[in-house]
Amino acid sequence: MKYLVTGGAGFIGSHVVDALIECGEEVHVIDNFLTGKRERVNKSAIIHEADIRSSEEITPLFQGVDGVFHLAAQPRMQFSIDHPKLTNDINVTGTLNVLLAARDAGGKRVVYSASSSAYGPNHPMPLHENMVPEPVIPYAIQKRVGEQYCAMASRFYGLETVCLRYFNVYGPRQ
């Protein structure tokens, strides 16, 4: 199968790329290398240096793709407070562009990397999926909007979406 991984040069994305390649899949990576590192990308992956903020740039790359793992984001919370427009363009507009490109290419599924930050600071620990999201930081709001766009793409475009809210991810290449 052919998979596309946005943010495949990032910490988590590069591990997803490795796992897919270990399964024998054809893997394409979209990354603009603002935060990702080229040396993280598995040599068997096909790299497309492109920016998810540009639908014209990324849409052709979705042709023939069986599945998409959308990990591209500007993840730093303080950075999102200091630069809310830039992070919104990447995290919200970029996500919408990925969903529409997948739809237009006849894609079947997009796995979206959401964030536990969507729960906000007002919930007692431990957090669980049944809690109502209450994001307050721009990054958290943006990731929550991405989840809502995924739900919209499923409802109106028939694109199967899965949102994964990560908690405290760490490991090699971090």
Buried b (16+ CB within 10 A) or exposed e, 108-138: ebbbbbbbbbbbbeeeeeeeeeeeebebebb
CA dist., res. 13 & res. 9, Å (int): 6
In this structure, what are the phi and psi dihedrals at residue 160, rounded to the nearest 5 degrees?
A: -70, 130
Q: Is 157 a catalytic residue?
A: no
Looking at this protein, which amino acid is placed at residue 151?
Answer: A
Determine contact, residues 171/121, Cβ cutoff 8 Å: no
Annotated catalytic residue within 139, 157, 166, 170: 139
CA dist., res. 112 & res. 22, Å (int): 21
Which residues have a catalytic role annotated?
A: 139
